[in-house]
């Protein structure tokens, strides 16, 4: 997100099952159709390579014992999931199978999918199912979305699961507060982008400060997502603040707090004409043993309500095409 002309901050990390890339691609397609002249006047870097690069990254992550071209598949919770469109879109664009848990089974120590010609081994599974639901034998025993025994196959090194189970720890908002140190520890260099100042409520001093300044802070659950379970101090009523303070005292380590930042705005076309709305940016980065690939574009998320800072699409936020210009 941006707060000033050259002030960019990292707001959070998404390493579990990050979604939204299909919106980035479809936004660009729509813009190309509606405003072709903008693209002939400006040299905009294309984002359409993303599915190809994603497939390449996934293939490059195949297990060592895979000979020949790796078989890739996307694991989706199914048509009732809100991101199903994205799952089928990516499967279509990458030319890989879109599977659900009940299409898969463990046979001969491998994960195989049931096809019209028999069972076929999968080498790399791009999963869009949360950790908890991946394997009823290892995690949530009631899960119908996963594959019983897949974690054994994974541990034996016979399938690559991307993103790897456990990467969600990087999404944790308390972990986030240590990111500058983590970056420096592993790279020996300072992080290029700044973190937002973050108070860990598990620490007594921080908790005290947060409780005293709730009306000015944004408080979030450490494992939360989608803009739920949070308090936006300046926008909250007295009663909401009192209630939230009680929750905070009860379980301080469940929360972090940040100063309310003024997100930058972009113009949108509202009912009464052009109007400013707050935005943030979600860039997409692919990482594989072969290297890193930063998509020259991203998903700009817009809070459609006037003054609102909640950009999540699950709460009525919109999206915008985002350009990176050629030099």
Partner 1 sequence: MLGKTAGGLYWMFRFLERSENTARLIEAGFRIALTRSSDTASEWKSVVTTAGVRSSYDAKYDSYTSVNVVDFLLRDPANPSSVMSSAEKARTNARMVRTALTTEVWEAVNENWMVLRDTLKRPVKETDLPTVLGNIRRQSALVRGAMHGTMLRTDIYDFAQIGTALERADNTARIIDVKYYTLLPSAQFVGSALDNVQWETILRSVSAHRSFRWLNEDDMTSANIADFLILDSRFPRSLSFCSRIIEDSFGFLAKDYNQTHPCHDVIEAQRNTFRSLSIAMVFDTGLHQFITDFINQNNALGQQIEADYRFNG
The whole-angstrom separation of Cα 232 and Cα 216 is: 8
CA distances from 72 to 55, 95, 115, 159 (A): 8, 9, 14, 10
Q: How many Å is the Cα radius of gyration of the chain?
A: 22
Task: Output 119 or 178, the one with its CB closest to partner 1.
Answer: 119
Q: How far is the CB of 212 from partner 1 (least distance, A)?
A: 51
DSSP letters, 214-246, are: GGGEEEEETT--TT-S-EEGGGS-HHHHHHHHH
Task: Output 73 or 299, the one with its CB closest to partner 1.
Answer: 73
Q: How far is the CB of 284 from partner 1 (least distance, A)?
A: 21
Task: Output 76 or 195, the one with its CB closest to partner 1.
Answer: 76
Q: How far is the CB of 321 from partner 1 (least distance, A)?
A: 20
Task: Output 7 or 29, the one with its CB closest to partner 1.
Answer: 29
Q: How far is the CB of 304 from partner 1 (least distance, A)?
A: 24
Q: How far is the CB of 40 from partner 1 (least distance, A)?
A: 25
Give contact residues for partner 1 (rule: CB under 8 A): 78-79, 84, 88, 91-92, 97-100, 102-103, 113-118
How many Cβ atoms are within 10 Å of 33's Cβ, its own excluded? 8
In the chain, % helix, strand, coil (3-state, to 5) comes to 35, 25, 40
- Please say whether the beta carbons of 268 and 297 come within 8 A: no
Task: Output 91 or 248, the one with its CB closest to partner 1.
Answer: 91
Question: Look-up: residue for tokens 């897949």?
Answer: 150
The whole-angstrom separation of Cα 311 and Cα 217 is: 18
SS3 of 214, please? Answer: helix
Task: Output 99 or 125, the one with its CB closest to partner 1.
Answer: 99
Q: How far is the CB of 39 from partner 1 (least distance, A)?
A: 22
């Amino acid at each position: 997100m941006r707060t000033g002309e050259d002030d960019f901050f990292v707001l959070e990390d998404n390493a579990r099952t990050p979604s939204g890339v299909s919106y980035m691609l479809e936004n660009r397609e729509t813009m190309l159709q509606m405003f072709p002249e903008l693209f002939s006047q400006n040299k905009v870097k294309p984002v359409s390579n993303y599915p190809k690069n994603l497939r390449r990254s996934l293939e490059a992550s195949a297990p060592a014992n895979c000979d020949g071209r790796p078989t890739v598949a996307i694991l989706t919770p199914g048509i009732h999931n809100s991101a199903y469109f994205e799952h089928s879109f990516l499967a279509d664009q990458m030319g890989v199978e879109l599977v659900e848990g009940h299409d898969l089974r463990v046979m001969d120590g491998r994960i195989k999918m049931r096809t019209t010609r028999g069972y076929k081994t999968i080498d790399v599974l791009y999963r869009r199912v949360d950790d908890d639901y991946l394997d009823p034998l290892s995690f949530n025993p009631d899960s119908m979305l996963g594959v019983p025994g897949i974690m054994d196959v994974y541990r034996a090194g016979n399938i690559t699961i991307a993103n790897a189970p456990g990467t969600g720890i990087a999404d944790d908002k308390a972990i986030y507060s240590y990111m500058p140190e983590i970056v420096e520890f592993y790279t020996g260099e300072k992080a290029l982008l700044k973190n937002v100042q973050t108070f860990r409520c598990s620490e007594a001093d921080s908790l005290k400060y947060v409780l005293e300044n709730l009306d000015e802070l944004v408080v979030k659950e450490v494992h939360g997502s989608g803009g739920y379970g949070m308090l936006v101090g300046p926008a909250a009523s007295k009663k909401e603040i009192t209630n939230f303070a009680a929750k905070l005292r009860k379980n301080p380590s469940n929360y972090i707090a940040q100063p309310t930042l003024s997100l930058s705005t972009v113009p949108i076309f509202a009912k009464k004409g052009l109007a400013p709305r707050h935005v943030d940016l979600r860039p997409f980065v692919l990482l594989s043993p072969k290297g890193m690939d930063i998509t020259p574009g991203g998903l700009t998320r817009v809070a459609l309500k006037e003054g609102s800072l909640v950009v999540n699409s699950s709460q009525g936020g919109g999206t915008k095409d985002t350009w990176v210009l050629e030099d």
